[in-house]
Amino acid sequence: MTREERLLAAVIDAVDTLVDDFDLIDFLHTLCDRCTELLDVSAVGVMLADPGGALHLIAASDEHTRLLELFALQHDQGPCVDCYADGAARLNIRLGSATEAERYPLFAAQARRAGFAASHALPMRLRERTIGALNLFDAQDKDIDAPDARVAQALADVSTIAILQHRTVVHGNRERAQLQAALSSRIVIEQAKGILAERWHTDVDDAFDALRRYARVRQLGLSAVCRSLVERELDSDELRRP
């Protein structure tokens, strides 16, 4: 696919949220995939805020990024935290520089240990309302160019609109229920990843890829597949089948 075709596919993903069986977590993991395909970055994470304003990690492109994002939330430090707080993008954060080491001492050190040299955070915002942050990580110590920054913000914007529109159309005023369901699903997904990783003696990223592939091929919700595995309604051997 060309870059233009990939960008169109990302927009279509957002349009597809206007259906009754929309899976928020699967959509946001797809957003992570689209960003790594379209932008010259190594990894992506997505955080959303609950009704009380507290940030939660909802999706990440790999396990190292997930753990780094959780670290940022635990210590309330990092470009993603600042980006959500004031709704302004944080671009070209050189994690090895003295300036960023002073600004984010714990986060910068942890990010470098995870193999990242640069970070960018873009607000998921509609007008004055910020619902989260889209976080990009790069193993190379380089800036994001202006066209890629515009694409990244466009993806964050269209995803924000899709999420808010879906909340309005399908759930009305049940935002709390939607996010709580997403957080509960996140727990089940982590449990399923751990189960497969232990049984198959593989890493959690490979386990997660198998779960997503099984759900996609059978047109099932990712959360539903993971719950079936955790509750022993689905045999892990079934996931190995083409």
Q: 160-214 pLDDT, tens per residue? A: 988 887 666 655 545 666 677 777 888 999 999 999 999 999 999 999 999 999 9
Phi-psi map region of 28: left, alpha, beta (phi>0 left; psi -120 to 50 alpha): alpha
Average pLDDT over residues 211-234: 92
Say what the pLDDT of residue 19 is.
Answer: 57
Express as a percent the part of the chain with pLDDT over 90: 63
Residue with tokens 């709580």: 180
Q: Does domain 184-240 have CATH number 1.10.10?
A: yes
Average pLDDT, integer, range 84-106 = 95
Q: 26 pLDDT exceeds 90? A: no
The pLDDT, as a whole number, for residue 238 is 87
Q: Where are the domains of the chain?
A: 3-172, 184-240
Q: Report the pLDDT value the prediction gives residue 172, as an integer from 0 to 100.
A: 55
User: Could you tell me which of 239, 240, 226, 222 has the C-alpha nearest to residue 192?
Assistant: 226
**Max Cα–Cα distance, the chain, nearest Å:** 52
**Torsions phi, psi for 109 (to 5 deg):** -65, -45
Answer yes or no: is pLDDT of 22 > 80: no
pLDDT at position 25: 86
The CATH superfamily of 3-172 is GAF domain (3.30.450.40)
Contact 101, 152 (CB under 8 A): no
For residue 164, which of 208, 122, 127, 113 has the smallest C-alpha distance?
127
Same fold, 3-172 and 184-240: no
Residue 84: predicted pLDDT: 96
Q: Is the pLDDT of residue 135 over 80?
A: yes
Q: What is the pLDDT of residue 73?
A: 96
Least confident of 12-21, 26-35, 103-112: 12-21
pLDDT for the residue 70? 96
> CA-to-CA distance for 138 and 147, rounded, in angstroms?
16
